[in-house]
Structures are given as structure tokens and as C-alpha cells.
Amino acid sequence: MEVAFDDTLRTLTQDIARQTRSLMTSGQTPAPVFRPSCANCSLHDLCTPESLQSPPRIASWLERQIGR
């Protein structure tokens, strides 16, 4: 299979490389996005994408802590 490495693909490749470098230098990992295929992933138990889709509100946590 031949892939045409044209200006569009070159620009896309440069943009992805730039974004990857930026993530690496920031020291932060992007939040996982839950997809149906996550259930079959070997990293599912480490990633836990379902739990990070809608982070808990601090007010709910505080209410649980003080018992109200």
C-alpha cells in the first residue's frame, strides 16, 4: 500500500508531534475518554475511564464528610 505524504498529511503529522511534545513537557496526562472498547482493554483497571467522565462535585464530597 502506498501512502501519499502530501502537504495535508505532513501538516497533520507536525501538529500531532507538536501536541505530543506539549503534553510531555506539561507533565500532565489527558483525561481518559470512555468508549465501549474500554471494557476489553488491558489497562482498564488502571485507567478507570468511567469514573473520570463526570468528576464528583466538591459539595457532594463535603456533605458526605460532615454527615449532612
Question: Against a cut of 0.85, is the pTM above it?
Answer: no
User: Collapsing DSSP states into helix, strand and coil, what is residue 2?
Assistant: coil
Task: Quick: pLDDT tens for 3-27.
Answer: 888 999 999 999 999 999 998 899 8
Burial class (CB in 10 A: 0-12, 13-18, 19+), 38: middle
Cα–Cα distance between 38 and 48 in angstroms, integer?
9
Task: Quick: pLDDT tens for 29-59.
Answer: 777 888 899 889 998 888 888 877 666 677 7
Specify the amino acid at residue 21. R
Give me the DSSP letters along 41-53: -TTHHHH-GGGGS
DSSP state of 37: G
